[in-house]
Structure 1
């Protein structure tokens, strides 16, 4: 089936992405043409991608076994959770590494450079926005309250910081880690005492942050100018650790926080952001982080359905959104 009409939405994600399914169902009900592809997998399984550049400008096509998309006619690109690029299964060693690298720079470069397309979010802005030091710097520029934070490889600096106030440790990236028995491990946010800090801090950068004496957490999902905030009550320091113990309810966003969210998104070049805040008893909202490609469908439907509709609106409107 050909689907090269002007205004098609290109969705880049893996086949198991249930969050994408929610939004795609809405777009289907609205009869918005959609092409869904996982380039790191599908281009080895019947899909093809070709682009030309020259005197005729930029033109090309993405074809799957059921769809054919003129890349000049892409209304929006939703860069969700595509599979990481790698070489075909029959290759190994240096050959696989070379093929995977060419996929990353070639296919990734084409799909990130479509003319006139509206990106939610652009992959380069997603990557830029995932650096926690960049998040903290942008949060300060946007006027958020930010807990005192140090990132260091110096054990003495780390001990001094944790002596000055109650502190927590956070990983700078959620790096996959397995123990000696090959069991997956998760590094949660946790309290740190100065005596906990060893010279092992010198092996890589560590992030230590003043512990916010919070009354509750807030997950604020921003889709363009539309903000959806959920108050999260949990007995855990890191609410992600025991999601079966969470309770949720909608909460209004203070005007100052909304203004800072808008400034942050503009600064980082984002359309979508999943912000986490710690809120104190006196109503101060402390910025913790912003995931530029965060999940939201895990929220109860009363809180997640409006987010899905807002994303569908963004993708349907395209460059005018």
Structure 2
């Protein structure tokens, strides 16, 4: 895994105007002018240090989630949470069902974990024996598949394996209609870290902001590993603003738009689209490789997609797409129609 093995890699194409970006899992959302006005009004925070640990924001999040402030730790995006947890369990055994987000493997490798990578199907079928003292990494909904795991099965798995640490990354939890874990469900468990990302939910990934919910005794172990001031002042102010405002999108409308896009892609025949519970989904090209299609779309149409071939267990023909606005979705479909003979 490399540091640049992610979507939204427009920096690879200097001089190319990107007019539609399907490459990251951030959906098209209208700009929140209220947020920009609020941050401008708070510009004085740039001239003083933020809290070493964003405790005031943790109190606000805890209140909103109905848990104690000692159960919440604010982080610089979900990624800081992932690396802190990998550090806490250094040199343990990690189970990372594949395909999934690459940072679990990368962080585990940095901190000397022994990495075991069963397929998702094998892991949830119960055929994988998880040894006591190990760590299990789960993305829910999963990235890149968009599949949401069964809520009761997750809870039962954690309850029946108290000596195994479960890291459940719900960065995309707001984008699925299915039930996901809630903070109050995990704070009494001795072995679960629940990760959430505010900046993904509100489509502002340039501001890194996330948080972990866990039992206070478990969470306290992480605090000693956290760098002071890792969450910058503007991210903290953004957190205050987001707590006071509802979700910036209607999930039903977003999933309806995904349905429309998938239907158009299926008609092209040379693209196999896999089931998903979210606005993003995996697809597989019949003839072209993902890198060939990506370069062609960027250079001829200014459209960016995700080459998913670097997800473990996926092939050079896999791509990932995140639903955007109707106009952007139509632009992608029309571009692909120009390649229809090649796709088929």
TM-score, scaled relative to structure 2 = 0.22
Question: RCO greater where, 1 or 2, for CA within 8 Å and sep 6 or more?
Answer: 2
Bigger strand share: 1
Higher helix share: 2
State the structure with more CA Rg: 1
